[in-house]
Amino acid sequence: MDHFIEFVHNWGYVAVLLGSMVEGESVILTASFLAYKGHLSIFKIMIVAFCGTLFADQALYHLGHYYGPDFLERFPKMKKRSTKAFKLLRKWDVWYILIFRFIYGIRIVSPIVIGTAGIPPWRFIPLNFISAVVWTIVSCGLGFLFGEIIEHVLHSFHLIQKYFLFILIGIICLGILITAYLRRKKKS
């Protein structure tokens, strides 16, 4: 356990940066939980996560903006996801730009699609900024909040474990009494 904590202290913020650049909510949630436990700073996690997600999505947007359909054609595995992203962009427009980070499976391709669709930078950049702020607050906040909930559950589990034998004996005794009662009632 000490090696893991040392690893977290040395590489935790790097993991947050890399995780925030891809669909890495699990990394952000885990880091936020570790912040709750006092091993990392929640404020540093939020800053790093915000910068990572903002940078990655800006870079992907510019990739789509400048290389567009040619880039998407070079990667046929993106075809299904990009088609879905184009449909959502056409249907929801600004709202899609604000929430694409929360849509599993198309998060990486979405900024490329937005750039490919011709959304101008002056429109995308402020919406991306707002979206990055919301995503950071929600992701980090949930991890920190779940830290408290998980700790409470683990503490409760310890109590259940402590009294498990007594609970089990009580259930067995209750079962025996009910069975005996039902047999006696059946004979009568």
Q: Annotate 85-147 with DSSP letters as a single string.
A: HHHHHHHHTHHHHHHGGGSTTSTTHHHHHHHHTT--HHHHHHHHHHHHHHHHHHHHHHHHHHH
Residue 100 lies in a domain: yes
- Structural domain for 64, as ranges: 2-149
Residue 66 lies in a domain: yes
Residue 183 lies in a domain: no
Please report the pLDDT score of residue 112 as a whole number. Answer: 97
Residue 171 lies in a domain: no
How many whole angstroms separate alpha carbon 175 and alpha carbon 16? 51
Three-state SS at 148: helix
3-state helix, strand, coil in the chain (%, to 5): 90, 0, 10
The angle, 0 to 180 degrees and rounded to 10, between the axes of the packed helices 121-187 and 42-74 is 110
Residue 72 lies in a domain: yes
Contact 31, 16 (CB under 8 A): yes
Residue 107 lies in a domain: yes
Residue 119: φ, ψ to 5°: -65, 125
Residue 157 lies in a domain: no
Name the domain count of the chain.
1
How many whole angstroms separate alpha carbon 175 and alpha carbon 121? 69
Contact 131, 99 (CB under 8 A): yes
Output the tens digit of pLDDT for each of the chain's 188 residues: 688 889 888 999 999 999 999 888 889 989 999 999 999 999 999 999 999 999 999 999 999 999 989 999 999 889 999 999 999 999 999 999 999 999 988 999 999 999 999 999 999 999 999 999 999 999 999 989 988 887 777 777 766 666 777 777 888 888 888 888 888 877 76
Per-residue DSSP letter, 23: T
Residue 166 lies in a domain: no
